[in-house]
């Protein structure tokens, strides 16, 4: 049986994190924990918290660290992540979040943080054409739509454009990424946890690159 893994995926919006995290989650048989997906589910359910989160998300702003940390703490306490591990997608996004993550996971440190790198012009084109399943979060695009209408191939959910994939929100999200999240690559490098992976090309090729760096790291840790 394939051993679990404790992974973090960094990368700008549109780098392909969602697509690759779903593949990694199947390959290593670990839960894919996307803070964006968790928040979008709360928005859909129109909980009190969801309504508050919606305002931050539509503008392209980050939610306060304490709110996100509450969500992550609760999720990482469940049995599945304790036994097999996890893939964190969209978290951490600030040095404060990363510091707390290291504290929470101190008993068994994360294996690897991957920075999935794609040039800005490619990211902008991908975000403009991106479409996502409102139920399972699967990614599609205007070039690669679902097989039938705008209905998800895997769960039959509606496939739509994200409310925060507008020009203004995209610009703000990318600027916040550069300011708050990009410094995490140096931060994790200092802790000898970072691997940089080229996110350009066919999704199968990108997955192969990811499996290779992750397996290499796990060999070293054995």
Q: Which residues of this chain interact with ligand AMP, rule CB under 6 A?
A: 13, 35-36, 39, 56-57, 60-63, 68, 90-91, 93, 97, 164, 173
> Within its chain, how far is the Cα of 60 from the centroid?
16
* 3 state DSSP class of 195: strand
In the bound state with ligand AMP, the residue whose beta carbon lies nearer, of 62 and 210, is 62
- Please, what is the minimum distance in Å from the beta carbon of residue 44 to ligand AMP? 13
147 tagged catalytic: no
In the bound state with ligand AMP, the residue whose beta carbon lies nearer, of 36 and 199, is 36
In the bound state with ligand AMP, the residue whose beta carbon lies nearer, of 122 and 217, is 122
179 tagged catalytic: no
What is the C-alpha to C-alpha distance for residues 179 and 214, in angstroms, rounded to an integer? 27
- Please, what is the minimum distance in Å from the beta carbon of residue 197 to ligand AMP? 18
Q: Which of 23, 40, 126, 173 is catalytic?
A: 173
What is the C-alpha to C-alpha distance for residues 11 and 21, in angstroms, rounded to an integer? 12
* Torsion (CA) 117, 192, 32, 42 in degrees, nearest 10: -80
- Please, what is the minimum distance in Å from the beta carbon of residue 69 to ligand AMP? 9
In the bound state with ligand AMP, the residue whose beta carbon lies nearer, of 39 and 193, is 39
Contact by Cβ (8 Å): 124, 14: yes
Q: Which of 6, 54, 126, 130 is catalytic?
A: 130
In the bound state with ligand AMP, the residue whose beta carbon lies nearer, of 29 and 69, is 69
162 tagged catalytic: yes
- Please, what is the minimum distance in Å from the beta carbon of residue 183 to ligand AMP? 14
- Please, what is the minimum distance in Å from the beta carbon of residue 87 to ligand AMP? 13
Q: Helices 183-190 & 95-104, crossing angle to 10 degrees?
A: 30
- Cα atoms in the 13 Å half-sphere on the side-chain side of 163: 15
For 107, counting Cβ atoms within 10 Å of its Cβ (0-12 exposed, 13-18 middle, 19+ buried), the class is: exposed
Q: Which of 6, 17, 54, 131 is catalytic?
A: 17
40 tagged catalytic: no
173 tagged catalytic: yes
SS3 percent helix, strand, coil of the chain, rounded to 5, is 50, 15, 30
Please give the residue whose beta carbon sits closest to ligand AMP in the complex.
36
Residue 157's closest CA among 175, 176, 136?
Answer: 136
What does the chain come to in residues?
A: 222
- Catalytic residue list: 17, 93, 130, 162, 173
């Amino acid at each position: 049986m394939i051993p679990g893994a404790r992974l973090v995926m960094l990368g700008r919006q549109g780098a392909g994190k969602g697509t690759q995290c779903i593949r990694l989650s199947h390959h290593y048989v670990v839960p894919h924990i996307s803070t964006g997906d968790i928040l979008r589910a709360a928005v859909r359910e129109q909980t009190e918290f969801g309504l508050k989160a919606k305002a931050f998300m539509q503008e392209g702003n980050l939610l306060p660290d304490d709110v996100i940390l509450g969500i992550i703490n609760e999720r990482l306490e469940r049995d599945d992540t304790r036994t097999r591990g996890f893939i964190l997608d969209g978290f951490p996004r600030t040095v404060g979040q990363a510091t707390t993550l290291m504290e929470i996971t101190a008993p068994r440190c994360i294996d690897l943080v991957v920075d999935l790198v794609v040039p800005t012009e490619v990211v902008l084109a991908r975000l403009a054409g991106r479409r996502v399943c409102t139920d399972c979060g699967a990614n599609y695009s205007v070039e690669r739509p679902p097989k039938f209408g705008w209905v998800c191939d895997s769960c039959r959910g509606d496939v739509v454009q994200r409310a925060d994939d507008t020009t203004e929100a995209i610009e703000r999200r990318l600027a916040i990424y550069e300011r708050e999240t990009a410094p995490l690559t140096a931060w994790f490098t200092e802790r000898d946890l970072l691997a940089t992976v080229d996110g350009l090309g066919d999704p199968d090729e990108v997955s192969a690159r990811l499996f290779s760096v992750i397996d290499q790291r796990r060999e070293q840790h054995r």
